[in-house]
């Protein structure tokens, strides 16, 4: 399963990318996460269905100090090979 998300709310400056990376690695997912200039966080992940669903639940909750207001699914081109282990893009 593969997904690409755009997360908005209070998601920058609160350890959100680190939280996403650790959640993805816990579920053995490949992919990346990055801050966007507009204050949102974008990520792409792939792996076993169960792990992706659990990962998505963690993203919707976020770490302490974050406030996830919206998780929007974006279209993935699917052709890009995702990094393993999951990484933070700066």
Q: Any idea which fold 2-88 has?
A: Alpha-Beta Plaits (3.30.70)
Cis preceding-peptide flag for 85 (omega within 30 of 0) = yes
Model-level pTM greater than 0.85? yes
Beta-bridge partner residues of 68: 9
DSSP E strand stretches across the chain: 2-10, 30-35, 41-46, 67-74, 87-88
Structure confidence by residue, pLDDT tens digits, 12-56: 999 999 999 999 999 999 999 999 999 999 999 999 999 999 999
Domain boundaries, the chain: 2-88
Residues taking part in catalysis: 17, 35
Measured CA to CA, the distance from residue 49 to residue 1 in angstroms comes to 5
Q: What is the pLDDT of residue 76?
A: 86
């Amino acid at each position: 399963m593969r997904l690409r998300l755009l997360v908005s709310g209070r998601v920058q400056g609160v350890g959100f990318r680190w939280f996403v990376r650790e959640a993805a690695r816990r579920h053995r997912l490949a992919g990346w996460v990055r801050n966007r200039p507009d204050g949102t966080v974008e990520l792409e992940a792939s792996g076993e269905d169960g792990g992706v669903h659990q990962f998505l639940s963690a993203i919707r909750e976020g770490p302490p100090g974050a406030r996830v207001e919206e998780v929007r699914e974006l279209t993935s081109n699917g052709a890009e090979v995702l990094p393993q282990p999951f990484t933070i893009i700066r």
